[in-house]
Amino acid sequence: MKATPRILLVEDDPSICEAISEVLQMEDIEVRIASNGKAGIEELRAGYYPDLILLDLMMPGTDGMWFCAEREKDDELKKIPVVIMSAHGQVENRTAGLSVNAVLKKPIGLDDLLATVKPFLPGH
């Protein structure tokens, strides 16, 4: 039996989380949500090991930049690919120093979301 692909979604806006989860679940992808950077790292440290992390940059408290910095420090976490989602106009500048695998620019489209995410998932 094929393993279910898993994504950790780190995003603070409930509406975005709900809409993205719905789209991904329709593709039989398991989605776990963390509403800030710290919650995301805690999920990972607790043993949740996703195929991909979908990460928002602007979040209350510990934001996406903080999350990336924490991930850099941990060799295990560094192996999990990260896709940045940002509504920020200068997303390229802000992600220049980060080792990220792809960038999704908000507002995110359905086809764009799936096309960006799928190459990182098993069976693709």
Partner 1 sequence: MNLLSSPTDSRVSILLVDDRPENLIALSAILDTPDYRLVQARSGQEALRCLLSEDFALILLDVRMPGMDGFETARMIKQRERSKYIPIIFITAVNLETSFLFKGYDAGAVDYIVKPFDSTILRSKVAVFADLHRKNELVRQQASALRHHERLEREQEVARRELEILRREKAVSEKYRDLVEGIRDGIVWTANPETLEFSLISSHASRIIGETNAQEAFTRSLVAERSFQQALVRIRNGAFKDATFEHRLSGADGESLWFQTHLRLGESEVPGQMELRGLSINVTRIKAAQEEADRAVQVRDEFLSIASHEIRTPLTPLRLKLELMQRMVKAGIFEAPQIAKLTAALDKSCYQVDRLARLTDELLDVSRINGGKFTLMKEPVELSDVVKDVCDRFKGDLSRSGCELRLALASARGLWDRLKVEQVVINLLTNALKYGEAKPIEISTGEQDGMALLRIRDHGIGIREEDHERIFTLYERAVSPMNYGGLGLGLYIVKKIAEAHGGNVVVQSKPRDGAVFTVQLPFAEASVMKQAQL
Chain residues in the site for partner 1 (CB under 8 A):
13-16, 18-20, 22-23, 26, 58-61, 63, 85, 87-89, 106-111, 113
Burial class (CB in 10 A: 0-12, 13-18, 19+), 22: exposed
Shorter beta-carbon distance to partner 1: residue 109 or 122: 109
Residue that the structure tokens 């980060």 belong to: 98
Residue 109 has which token pair?
């489209």
Which residue, 8 or 21, has its beta carbon nearer to partner 1?
Answer: 21
| 15 CB burial (10 A radius; 0-12, 13-18, 19+) | exposed
Q: Position 84: which residue type?
A: I
Cα(34)–Cα(82) distance, rounded to whole angstroms?
14
Task: Please state the closest distance from residue 3 (CB atom) to partner 1, in A.
Answer: 26
Query: Smallest distance from the beta carbon of 95 to partner 1, in angstroms?
Result: 15
When the beta carbons of 19 and 80 are compared against partner 1, the nearer one is: 19
Closest CB 88 distance from partner 1, rounded Å: 6
Helix/strand/coil for 112: helix
Taking the least distance from each CB to partner 1, the nearer of 65 and 100 is: 65
In the complex, least distance from residue 104 CB atom to partner 1, rounded to whole angstroms = 9
